[in-house]
Amino acid sequence: MHMKRLIIVADDVHSRAWIESALEQLDVARDRCARAELADRLLADPGDLMVVDGTRAPETVIAEAERAVAGGSDVRLLVVVEPESLGSLRMPVRFPADFVVRGASAAEIVARVRGLLWPGQEVAAEELIRLDGLTLNLATYQAQVGGEPVEFTFLEYSLFAFLVTHPNRVYSREVLLTRVWGTDYFGGARTVDVHVRRIRSKLGPEVSWRLETVRNVGYLWKS
């Protein structure tokens, strides 16, 4: 499961802190880049989205991104602009891009980032579950523990997500087979046990204790 990677380009420590603070609620990996490195990073490693502090010259940032796209790079760009730059701002048409005015709220920054990373399928707050270092993103089928991605198979993820979204209730193996594997699955109920063991091993002890075995019945996720 691919975790989106976002690169923050800002030399000013206050601007960088403002951007990073706004993006803390998003389930993405974050990297940093100095403004002087922007042209090279656009060509070599633009990530899934670059958030660039355009200071008073956003047109320079956009021009560098356009040259990188002409050279074959796959670029998505969010530019931070000053209010006085809005009158002459020209956004590119050859690649996905947007802007945010300095001083915008965290909610606006997040909304614009979501629109660029997940166009048409932005993640609502209720689709992110956080608990004991666990982050489960129901919109992008991603899971993290302690900031590190957990590589679930599709069925492991489906079983885990079902239990997490139906907490504090015991489900038998037969019910889980029907809800996760489907009514046309003819394998034995013990396949649930195998998947639960794999899920626990991938989660680690700090989280896996919440996935309880209820003897002679089934499984329970404690919220």
Confidence at 190, pLDDT banded by 50, 70, 90 = confident
Mean pLDDT confidence for 177-184 = 80
The contacts of residue 221 (CB under 8 Å, 6+ apart) are: 163, 164, 166, 167, 168, 210, 211, 212
What per-residue confidence (pLDDT) applies to 98?
A: 92
Q: For residues 163 and 189, state if they share a domain.
A: yes
Mean pLDDT confidence for 165-169 = 90
Chain segment 32-76, per-residue pLDDT in tens: 999 999 999 999 999 999 999 998 899 999 999 999 999 999 999
Q: For residues 81 and 131, state if they share a domain.
A: no
Where in the sequence is the domain holding 138, given as residue range(s)?
126-221
| Phi and psi, residue 147, nearest 5° | 85, -5
Q: Specify the pTM.
A: 0.57
Judge whether residue 126 has pLDDT over 70: no
Q: For residues 84 and 133, state if they share a domain.
A: no
Q: For residues 90 and 189, state if they share a domain.
A: no
Q: For residues 84 and 175, state if they share a domain.
A: no
CA 180/CA 137 separation, integer angstroms: 18
The contacts of residue 216 (CB under 8 Å, 6+ apart) are: none
Question: In the chain, pLDDT over 90 holds for what percent of residues?
Answer: 50
Q: For residues 189 and 172, state if they share a domain.
A: yes
> Which residues sit opposite 220 in a β-bridge?
212
Q: For residues 199 and 96, state if they share a domain.
A: no
Judge whether residue 197 has pLDDT over 80: yes
Chain segment 85-125, per-residue pLDDT in tens: 888 888 888 899 999 999 888 888 988 898 888 775 544 55
Q: For residues 147 and 183, state if they share a domain.
A: yes
What per-residue confidence (pLDDT) applies to 1?
A: 46
Chain segment 8-21, per-residue pLDDT in tens: 999 999 999 999 99
What per-residue confidence (pLDDT) applies to 29?
A: 87
Number of domains, the chain: 2
Residue 54 three-state SS: coil
Q: For residues 118 and 131, state if they share a domain.
A: no
Structural contact between residues 52 and 31, judged by C-beta atoms closer than 8 angstroms: no
Confidence at 154, pLDDT banded by 50, 70, 90 = confident
Domain end position, chosen among 122, 157, 187:
122
The contacts of residue 130 (CB under 8 Å, 6+ apart) are: 136
